[in-house]
C-alpha cells in the first residue's frame, strides 16, 4: 500500500504540473475573448465618429488598439508569453523562405566585371538552382576550368584562389545576417506581433508573420534596399525647447477638452497646492513628458525613454494639428532600433530629435569592420567612405564637433556617437559599443548602404484567417469525436477495465498537452492530427495487456496473478512497438518542416505520456482495486 501511495503521488504530481503548464493557455483564451468584446465596442465607436472610414484603416486602428491593450495589461502579457502558440496554418499568416542572391552579390563585389565574368556567373547561378552547392563554389570551379584566377575579379593579385573563395563565402554569410537584421528591423516597425525570423542552413532565412491581414504590404516590407542615413541629433537646448512647447500645447488642448466634456468641476485649492502630484495629474498637465521621460532631468541631453506601448500614442500626439504648428518642420523624432528593459520589466525605446534632412546616406560607406581597440581593449567599429563621401564627411564633422550624429537604418537609430573632431580621411572610428556583438551589428548595419543583401523568395505560403479558424474547429471536432469513438469502444469491449483505459486516455492527452505547453511548442493542424492519432494508439497498450490478462485468467490463474503476469509479459512488445514509432517520429522531426515537425513532436510526446499512463496509471488503478478487494471485470 505504501508503494502504491508513492505512485499515486507521482501521478497526481504529473497531472497537477500539466494543469499548471496549461493554465496560461486557458487564461489567454479567456483574455482574448475579453479583448475581442472590448474591440467590438471600439469598432462601433470608431464607425460612429467616422462613418467614412475605410475597411483597411479601420482594421489598422483596431489592430493598434488590440496591440496596446495586450501590451499594457501585464496579466494578458504574461499569459500570452506562456501560452501554447498556434501555428500559421491555424491562426493565419505568412510564411516565407528566402535566400540571399549570391550571384547579385558577387557582381557587386567584383572589381571590373566584363562579359566573360557575367557569362560564368550566369551559368553558375543557373546551376545553383538545381543543386545544393552555393554559387561561390560553382563559380570558383568554373573559373578554374577556364584557367582564370579568382584574383582577376576579386581580392588582390597575391591571394590564393581558396583564400578568396573563403572571403567571398564570409561576405555571403554577412549578407544573410544583414538581410535578417534589415527584415527584423522593418517587421518590428510594422508591428507584427510575435514574428519569427530564423536562419536556416547557411544562406536561407525563414520568416513567419502570424496574423498578417494585408499581405501586399507585408511583402513590401521584405523587398527593396535598406536606407542607411547619417543625421545630426539636435542640441539639447533646442530639442527640449521644442518638446516643452509640444507639451504645453497638448496640455492646453487637454484643458479645453476636459472643460468642454465635464461640466467644469470646481477644483479645490488643496489639490492644486499638493506638491506631490499624482501621476494622473502629471499626465494631465504634461501629456507629452508623461510618455516621453527625459533621461537627464538637468536637460543636458534631450533623449527620452518611451515605453514600447506608448510609441503609437506619441505618434498620434505628434499628428495633432496644434502640435504640428509648434514643431519645426525640419526636425523629427526617431527611436532606437533595440529597446532597453526597464526596472519594471517593460521595454523602453530611446527617442531622439534629429534633423529631417540626412547629412549623408549609406551609399558612401565603402567598408566597415568591428574590432577590438588594442589599447583600451574595448570594441569599436571602423568605417571607410569613398572619396566623395569623405569630402562631405570632413565638412560635416568639422562643422559639428561635440555634437552627435545618429546612424539610422530604415528609420531606426543604431547608434548616435559624439563627433570628437574633424575626420578628414573618410576613415572613422565609432566607439561606445557595449560588447563585440553590438559592434558586429553596427558593422553589418553600416555595410547595408554599400552592400545590399539581395534576397529572393523561394517559397511563400499565406493562410487566410478564415481558413485557419476553419481548421481549428475541424481539428477540435475530430479530436472530440475520435476520443468518443475510442472511449465508448473500450468500455463496451472491456467493461470496467475499459473505463480504466479511458481514465488513462484522458491522462495521456492531458500530459501530452502539458508537455507541449511546457516546451513552448506550437500547435499546428498536423499536430492536432498527432493528438487524435495518439488517442487511437494509446489504448493499444491496454488492449495488449487486457488480452494477455484474459489469456492468463483462462489458464486458471487468480485475478492478482493474472494481472501481474499480464502486465509483465506485455511490457516487452509494448515497449518494442512504441520505440519504433518513436524512431520514425524522430526522423520525421529531423527531415520535416513547420507543421510536419509539429506533428512529429506531438506524436513523440504522445508516445511517452501514453507509456506512462498505460503502464503506471492503469497499473495503479488495478493494484488499488485489488488491494481493496474489489473484483475487476476485463470484459
* 174, 445 contact by CB (below 8 A): no
For residue 266, report the phi and psi dihedrals to the nearest 5 degrees.
Answer: -70, 120
**Footprint on residues 3-32 left by other proteins (CB under 8 A):** none
E-state strands within 338-435 = 340-341, 347-355, 360-361, 365-372, 379-385, 405-409, 412-415, 427-431
**Footprint on residues 450-509 left by other proteins (CB under 8 A):** 452, 457-464, 466-467, 470-471, 474-475, 477-479, 481-482, 485-486, 489-490, 492-493
Is 426 or 526 the residue whose CB approaches other proteins more closely?
Answer: 526
Element (H, E) at 153: none
According to DSSP, residue 404 is labeled B
Interface pick for other proteins out of 106, 331, 529, 620 (rule CB under 8 A)? 529
**Footprint on residues 104-143 left by other proteins (CB under 8 A):** 129-130, 132
Interface pick for other proteins out of 91, 433, 578, 613 (rule CB under 8 A)? 578
> Could you say whether residue 540 binds other proteins (CB under 8 A)?
yes
> Could you say whether residue 216 binds other proteins (CB under 8 A)?
yes
> Could you say whether residue 412 binds other proteins (CB under 8 A)?
no
> Could you say whether residue 633 binds other proteins (CB under 8 A)?
no
| Shortest spacing between CB 36 and other proteins, in angstroms | 20
Helices marked H in 50-111 — which ranges? Answer: 55-72, 74-82, 88-91, 102-109
**Which one of the spans 45-53, 289-297, 356-364, 384-392 is the region binding other proteins (CB under 8 A)?**
356-364
Is 287 or 566 the residue whose CB approaches other proteins more closely?
Answer: 566
Segment 178-181 long-range contacts (CB within 8 Å, at least 24 positions apart):
178/444, 178/445, 178/447, 178/448, 178/451, 178/453, 179/98, 179/100, 179/205, 179/453, 179/455, 180/205, 181/409, 181/441, 181/444, 181/445, 181/448
Q: Which string of x and - marks every residue 382-411 that binds other proteins (by CB under 8 A)?
A: ----------------------------x-
Task: List the beta bridge partners of residue 354.
Answer: 233, 332
Is 430 or 544 the residue whose CB approaches other proteins more closely?
Answer: 544
- Nearest by Cα to 363 from 390, 334, 324, 329: 390
Task: State how far the Cα of 174 lies from the Cα of 179, in Å rounded to an integer.
Answer: 8
**Which one of the spans 191-199, 219-227, 263-271, 555-563 is the region binding other proteins (CB under 8 A)?**
219-227
> Could you say whether residue 57 binds other proteins (CB under 8 A)?
no
Task: State how far the Cα of 170 lies from the Cα of 110, in Å rounded to an integer.
Answer: 15
Interface pick for other proteins out of 238, 282, 519, 591 (rule CB under 8 A)? 591
> Could you say whether residue 561 binds other proteins (CB under 8 A)?
no
**Footprint on residues 594-613 left by other proteins (CB under 8 A):** 595-596, 599-600, 603
The count of chain residues that interact with other proteins, using the rule CB under 8 A, is: 85
Q: Which string of x and - marks every residue 417-456 that binds other proteins (by CB under 8 A)?
A: -----------------------------------x----
**What residues have CB less than 8 Å from 327, skipping those under 6 apart?**
242, 245, 246, 318
Amino acid at each position: 500500500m505504501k508503494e502504491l501511495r508513492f505512485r499515486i503521488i507521482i501521478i497526481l504530481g504529473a497531472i497537477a504540473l500539466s494543469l499548471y503548464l496549461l493554465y496560461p493557455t486557458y487564461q489567454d483564451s479567456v483574455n482574448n475573448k475579453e479583448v475581442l468584446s472590448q474591440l467590438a465596442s471600439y469598432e462601433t465607436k470608431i464607425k460612429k465618429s467616422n462613418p467614412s472610414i475605410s475597411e483597411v484603416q479601420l482594421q489598422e486602428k483596431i489592430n493598434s488598439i488590440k496591440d496596446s491593450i495586450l501590451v499594457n495589461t501585464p496579466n494578458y502579457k504574461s499569459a500570452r508569453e506562456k501560452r501554447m502558440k498556434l501555428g500559421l496554418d491555424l491562426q493565419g499568416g505568412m510564411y516565407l523562405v528566402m535566400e540571399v542572391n549570391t550571384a547579385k552579390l558577387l557582381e557587386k563585389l567584383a572589381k571590373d566585371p566584363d562579359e566573360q565574368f557575367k557569362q560564368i556567373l550566369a551559368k553558375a547561378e543557373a546551376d545553383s538552382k538545381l543543386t545544393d552547392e552555393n554559387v561561390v563554389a560553382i563559380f570558383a570551379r568554373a573559373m578554374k576550368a577556364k584557367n582564370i584566377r579568382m584574383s582577376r575579379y576579386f581580392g588582390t593579385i597575391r591571394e590564393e584562389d581558396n583564400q578568396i573563395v573563403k572571403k567571398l563565402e564570409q561576405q555571403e554569410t554577412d549578407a544573410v545576417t544583414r538581410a535578417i537584421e534589415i527584415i527584423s528591423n522593418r517587421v518590428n516597425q510594422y508591428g507584427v506581433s510575435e514574428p519569427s525570423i530564423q536562419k536556416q542552413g547557411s544562406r536561407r532565412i525563414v520568416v513567419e508573420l502570424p496574423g498578417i491581414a494585408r499581405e501586399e504590404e507585408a511583402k513590401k516590407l521584405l523587398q527593396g534596399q535598406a536606407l542607411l542615413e547619417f543625421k545630426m541629433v539636435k542640441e539639447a537646448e533646442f530639442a527640449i525647447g521644442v518638446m516643452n512647447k509640444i507639451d504645453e500645447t497638448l496640455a492646453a488642448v487637454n484643458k479645453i477638452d476636459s472643460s468642454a466634456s465635464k461640466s467644469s468641476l470646481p477644483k479645490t485649492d488643496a489639490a492644486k497646492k499638493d506638491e506631490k502630484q499624482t501621476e494622473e495629474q502629471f499626465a494631465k498637465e504634461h501629456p507629452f513628458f508623461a510618455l516621453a521621460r527625459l533621461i537627464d532631468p538637468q536637460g543636458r541631453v534631450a533623449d527620452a525613454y518611451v515605453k514600447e506601448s506608448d510609441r503609437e500614442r506619441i505618434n498620434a500626439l505628434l499628428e495633432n494639428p496644434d502640435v504640428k504648428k509648434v514643431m519645426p518642420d525640419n526636425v523629427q523624432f526617431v527611436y532606437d532600433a533595440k529597446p532597453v528593459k526597464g526596472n519594471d520589466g517593460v521595454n523602453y525605446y530611446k527617442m531622439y530629435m534629429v534633423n529631417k534632412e540626412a547629412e549623408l546616406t549609406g551609399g558612401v560607406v565603402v567598408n566597415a569592420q568591428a574590432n577590438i581597440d588594442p589599447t583600451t581593449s574595448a570594441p569599436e567599429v571602423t568605417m571607410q567612405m569613398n572619396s566623395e563621401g569623405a569630402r562631405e564627411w570632413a565638412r560635416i564633422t568639422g562643422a559639428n564637433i561635440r555634437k552627435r550624429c545618429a546612424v539610422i537604418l530604415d528609420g531606426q537609430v543604431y547608434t548616435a556617437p559624439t563627433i570628437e573632431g574633424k575626420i578628414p580621411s573618410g576613415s572613422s572610428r565609432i566607439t561606445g559599443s557595449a560588447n563585440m556583438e553590438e559592434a558586429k551589428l553596427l558593422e553589418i548595419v553600416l555595410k547595408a548602404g554599400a552592400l545590399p543583401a539581395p534576397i529572393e523568395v523561394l517559397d511563400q505560403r499565406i493562410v487566410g484567417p478564415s481558413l485557419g479558424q476553419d481548421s481549428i474547429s475541424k481539428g477540435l471536432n475530430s479530436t472530440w469525436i475520435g476520443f468518443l469513438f475510442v472511449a465508448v469502444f473500450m468500455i463496451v469491449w472491456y467493461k470496467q477495465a475499459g473505463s480504466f483505459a479511458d481514465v488513462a486516455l484522458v491522462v495521456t492527452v492531458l500530459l501530452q498537452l502539458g508537455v507541449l505547453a511546457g516546451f513552448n511548442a506550437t500547435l499546428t493542424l498536423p499536430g492536432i492530427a498527432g493528438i487524435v492519432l495518439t488517442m487511437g494508439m494509446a489504448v493499444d497498450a491496454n488492449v495488449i495487456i487486457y488480452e494477455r490478462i484474459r489469456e492468463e485468467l483462462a489458464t486458471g490463474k487468480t485475478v492478482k496473478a493474472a494481472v501481474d503476469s499480464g502486465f509483465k509479459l506485455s511490457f516487452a512488445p509494448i515497449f518494442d512497438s512504441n520505440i519504433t514509432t518513436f524512431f520514425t517520429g524522430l526522423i520525421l522531426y529531423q527531415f520535416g518542416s513547420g507543421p510536419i515537425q509539429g506533428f512529429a513532436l506531438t506524436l513523440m510526446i504522445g508516445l511517452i505520456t501514453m507509456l506512462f499512463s498505460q503502464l503506471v496509471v492503469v497499473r495503479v488503478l488495478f493494484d488499488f482495486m485489488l488491494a481493496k478487494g474489489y473484483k475487476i471485470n476485463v470484459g
